[in-house]
Structure 1
Amino acid sequence: MDYQRLSKEMSYALRHAPHEYELEVDEYGWVEIEQLISSLQEQPVWRHVSEQDFHIMVVSPPTS
């Protein structure tokens, strides 16, 4: 799993294009993780992404 690429995809979806990913952002700017995962899984490259991948991504050191 390319966690840097996943991080960039997730950031784009949440910050810039929630409408493109059909994400429902609540009044505080939050999205249900299940909804984010489901939306990403619609793309072939992310079809196997899981909540565990998000946890790994968050604790992984950034790469240059």
Structure 2
Amino acid sequence: MPNIRKTPTKIIGFRVRDDMLEFFNSLENKNDFLVGLVADCSAFKEFKKEKAQRELENEPNLFDDFK
């Protein structure tokens, strides 16, 4: 995992119900909890896989000149 202090980050906010707010306030580190939850989610893993695939498709191919 890359060094988190050197990874560019953005700040976002979201709304939660009172019972969720109470739970989040009980956590020692809300950010680590949410990041870990999303990182383990299959939808996020699929998103990263599709994004990497799109980036590979846009890469220039060095062997195109030899066709």
The question of a shared fold, defined as TM-score above 0.5 by the shorter chain, is answered with: no
Superposition TM-score, scaled by structure 1 size: 0.27
Superposition TM-score, scaled by structure 2 size: 0.26
Ranked by relative contact order (alpha carbons within 8 Å, sequence separation 6 or more), the top structure is 1
